[in-house]
Amino acid sequence: MLMNLKTNILKFIKRREIYFILAIASFALFCSGLSEITTYLCDETYYLSHGLGMVKSGDWITPVFEGREFAFQKPILFHWLVALSFKVFGVNMFSGRLPSVVFATSGIIIVYYFSLILFGNYKGALFSSLALLSSSLYFLDARAARTDMVLTFFITLSMLFFAKGFFGQKNRRLYFIFSFIAMGLATMTKGPPGFLIPFISMVIFLLIFSKNRPALKDIFTPWSFLFFLLIVVPWPLTMYILHGNRFIRCFFFEELVHKVDRSSMDLLSNIGYYLGTMVRHFFPWSIFLLIGALSTKKKENNRNEALFLFLWIVVTFGIFAFFLSPNHSRYLLPLSPALALLTGEYLVRIEEQSGFGNRMFKLVVLLILSLFVVLALVLLFLTVAIYSFGYYGFIFSLLALIVILGGIILLGRFYKRKIFAPIPPTIACTMATIAFIFISGIIPATTPDPWKELSLRYLKGIGKETKIVTLGIDRGPRVWLTIYTSRFLDGIYYGDRIDSAYDYLEREKTSPETLLVVLPDSEYLRLPEDLKRDYPIKGSSFTYDMKGEANTKEIFRAIRAGRLKPFLSKYRKYFYVLTNRKEL
């Protein structure tokens, strides 16, 4: 019976329907809670604002931040994708992040196909896709309106076309041209890394072995570079015609010099940071990969393929660790597909070479089982806490608890019976479900979003003649307000400009036009008393501002006492909407 089950599963993953199932599952996971503001995103405020500016102004050539300031730092492709999504699906947080979701989902599919091209093993292809889907770095960036996911997709596509041409040995030059087209699109997404990562990886791979070198003449054809330049050149040339040396100085010099600043670089710190990022954000697959590389026998028939993937990882790691001064974990996202592909291959090798006999492998599985037990206990605590916030959060937390307990039981049974094949999918599905529940249930239930509430209740749908200004509101929240209200702000008073806001409010208090002022409680307390009388509060919302004052022990103590809500209420930070129309 067990053999029949294995045979049926293998037959199923060989069918084309697996692509559809992977796409639906990935898309649903990445879309969960997509409209919620999360705390790990910062750069996406730029791209959301630029996309809104293109839709509102009709200028699809020059990105503009908050409708006021030219933004020359990044190439144009991702701005176009966000603006197009706004145009088709309306201006909201979901549509702004949708391009990353679509390309992340596509990335899962092409990794499955990529694995088949390199290793020809359907089981390994499925393992690779699930490893990528459940890696935390890939999951987080799949839900962010940032360039990294689209960059990763086009780099992966470029490497796929190269592999198809080199290892397939049919229509090699045509596939290499397609590879350069994908490089061009990657470059138009985030600049030089889109070209350097795949091109350097390919050239080094072809140079290492003498038998690979004849392919160099196919990759260095004029047609490949011509198509690349046709994609990369037109937009910067147009921007130079429109903005002159100001664009050249910002786009080519200031941005690159800021990134490539070796004078402030701590090389050992960089290497340690990015090694830790690889292990942490690809856990537990990074451990499986290490075990597989150290404990399994090499396969001579796919030695070239494995080397190709290792070079992809080394080149990506080297570019960001040795040449870029800012440390950001998302910079390593382009090597995630290579890690996933190698992981799938080594998991297959572990199974074929009786991995259950390896002590390290047993230890890793036991470690993961222990980790899931700890997560189940933590979620049990959180379930109690979320219950006090409402039925919705309780249901999601309870579902997470059931799934994790189910994963623990299944892993325990598979481990006891030494059945390997279901272990990677069980780990991946359990991890994906945990991520889904945290994003869709726990975070929305426990983290109030004041900008969404203020916008939808008091600001959205008002007439164009009504002005909206902010006082003491930082860049990120200002962009959230513009996306939720589908309009730019009429005035921004922040930093040194705050004092000048009082004169503006004094002038506008008797204006026949309605004025709405959004500000935090700290700035409201600073308002002169006469302005408080002239600008009554129309509405308010809050978030929690912990600032390290409450440690973990205090929070868990409040959970045990069933008093989390009163405890958090002490750390509320309020935001107000004021108006000059007392009758409103």
75-89, 256-270, 284-298, range with greatest mean pLDDT: 75-89
pLDDT at 549 over 60: no
Cα distance between residue 441 and residue 439, in whole Å: 6
In this structure, of 74-78, 111-115, 249-253, the range with the lowest mean pLDDT score is 249-253
pLDDT at 7 over 60: no
pLDDT tens digits, one per residue of 457-498 = 888 778 778 899 999 998 888 888 899 988 888 888 988 888
Cα distance between residue 425 and residue 421, in whole Å: 8
Q: Which amino acid is at 187?
A: T
Cα distance between residue 537 and residue 220, in whole Å: 67
C-alpha closest to that of 514 among 529, 492, 536, 487: 536
pLDDT tens digits, one per residue of 428-449 = 877 777 777 777 666 666 677 8
Q: Which helix (H) or strand (E) holds 54?
A: helix 44-57
pLDDT at 149 over 80: yes
Using DSSP's 3-state secondary structure scheme, residue 548 falls into coil
**pLDDT score recorded for residue 2:** 46
Q: Using the structure block, give the residue that is written with the tokens 């004092």.
A: 499
Cα distance between residue 561 and residue 151, in whole Å: 48
> Which has more confidence, 390 or 266?
266
**pLDDT score recorded for residue 94:** 92
Judged on CB neighbours under 10 Å (0-12, 13-18, 19+), 362 is middle
Instruction: Work out the widest C-alpha separation in the chain, in whole angstroms.
Output: 83
DSSP tag of 469: E
Judged on CB neighbours under 10 Å (0-12, 13-18, 19+), 535 is buried
Cα distance between residue 485 and residue 282, in whole Å: 37
pLDDT tens digits, one per residue of 407-423 = 777 777 766 677 777 77
pLDDT at 176 over 90: yes
**pLDDT score recorded for residue 1:** 45
Cα distance between residue 206 and residue 208, in whole Å: 6
Cβ atoms 21, 126 nearer than 8 A: no
Cα distance between residue 430 and residue 110, in whole Å: 23
